[in-house]
Amino acid sequence: MYTVFLYDGTFDGLLTCIDKILSTHVNEDEVVIAEKDRYQPMFFDSPVYVALDKNRSQELRQKVISASDKITFKKIYYCFLSEAQNKETYIYKYIKLILKHGKKVKYLYHNDVVNFVEKASKNVSREIGKYMGLMRFSEIKNGVLYAQFEPTNDILVPISYFFRERLKNFKWVIHDKKRSKLSIYDTKMIKFLNDINLNASFSDDENLYQKLWKLYFKTMAIEERKNLKLQRQNMPKKYWKYLTEKN
């Protein structure tokens, strides 16, 4: 029989939950962690909901970082952003490993838990890397830049921090259409919101620059070297929907 722990779906909520589990005596193999809203109760389960406690999550965060390092902690966060099945349970086991072995865990590739976290976090950081280049902004009437995307993983937060550095003098909005989430930057700070209705039309310049970019994209291809397979390999079709040059 499993002991089921539920959390609120946030990263801090998960850390709170894990901290709670670590302080109770349960058999590691019988722990299941799930998001409250997604959880489908099984007949014999008696799930326990652990509410978010910022102090507690902060405490565990510090503990993990001092046992390993910031890079290892970032891996945990990225794994959390992934869509991998049962990621919460793996993160719990991974944290247990860190608290036992320190940052050496990253060399334990043959361990399934380590392998899982490595793979999931790499998948997320790869997607972030792709979108750093493939996000396309359009200028709307009031000068705000607007971008939409449908990432596989929940990367709106890290990608927004990247564009805060990159476009720090511009107001912008990044819209995760798949999850109906938005980030809004007003040249000072980012706000994360759930879907709101956006009604805006392009600025006067926008059409010209989209045209210029499409033209440039076409112009740069060398006919004698044509290699569409290589293009798709580097820029898979799933990204094309929101790419100006591919529409």
Partner 1 sequence: MDILEKLQILGAAAKYDVSCASSGSKRETNYGIGSTFTAGICHSWTDDGRCISLLKVLFTNECLFDCAYCINRKSNDIKRATFTPYEVAELTMNFYKRNYIEGLFLSSAIKNSPDWTMEMLYKTVYLLRYKYQFNGYIHVKAIPYASLDLIRRTGFLADRMSVNIELPSEKSLKLLCPNKTKESILKPMEFITKVGEEERNFVSAGQSTQMIIGATDDSDRKIITLSQHLYKKFKLKRVYYSAYTPVNDDPRILKVEKPPLLREHRLYQADWLIRVYNFTADELFEKDENLDLEVDPKVMWALRHLDKFPVEVNKASYEELIRVPGIGIKSARRIIKNRVFHSLDFDDLKKIGVVLKRAKYFITCNGKTYERHLIDTVPEKVKLQLIEKKAAEQKVKQLSFFDSEVFTSVITGEI
Instruction: Check if the beta carbon of residue 71 is closer than 8 Å to that of residue 58.
Output: no
Beta strands 3-7 and 48-49, pairing class:
parallel
Cα–Cα–Cα angle for 28, 60, 114, nearest 5°? Answer: 50
What residues between 91 and 120 interact with partner 1 by CB under 8 A? 104, 107-110, 115
Q: How far apart are CA 159 and CA 138, in angstroms?
A: 17
Least distance from C-beta 87 to partner 1, angstroms? 20
Instruction: Check if the beta carbon of residue 188 is closer than 8 Å to that of residue 169.
Output: no
- Contacting partner 1 (CB under 8 A), which of 15, 145, 156, 182? 145
Q: Put the strands of the sheet holding 31-35 in their side by side order.
A: 31-35, 3-7, 48-49
Beta carbon nearer to partner 1, 104 or 179: 104
Q: Does 155 bind partner 1 (CB under 8 A)?
A: no
Least distance from C-beta 203 to partner 1, angstroms? 11
Q: Does 241 bind partner 1 (CB under 8 A)?
A: no
What residues between 208 and 237 interact with partner 1 by CB under 8 A? 209, 211-213, 215-217, 219-231, 233-235
Q: How far apart are CA 207 and CA 213, in angstroms?
A: 10
Beta carbon nearer to partner 1, 179 or 226: 226
Q: What is the distance of C-alpha 217 from the center of its chain? A: 29
Beta carbon nearer to partner 1, 90 or 163: 163
Q: Residue 3 CB: number of other CB atoms within 10 A?
A: 16
**Binding string, residues 169-188; x marks residues near partner 1 by CB under 8 A:** xx------------------
Q: How far apart are CA 137 and CA 156, in angstroms?
A: 15
**Binding string, residues 124-143; x marks residues near partner 1 by CB under 8 A:** -----x--xxxxxxxx----
Contact positions vs partner 1 (CB under 8 A): 104, 107-110, 115, 129, 132-139, 145, 147, 163, 165-170, 205, 209, 211-213, 215-217, 219-231, 233-235, 243-245
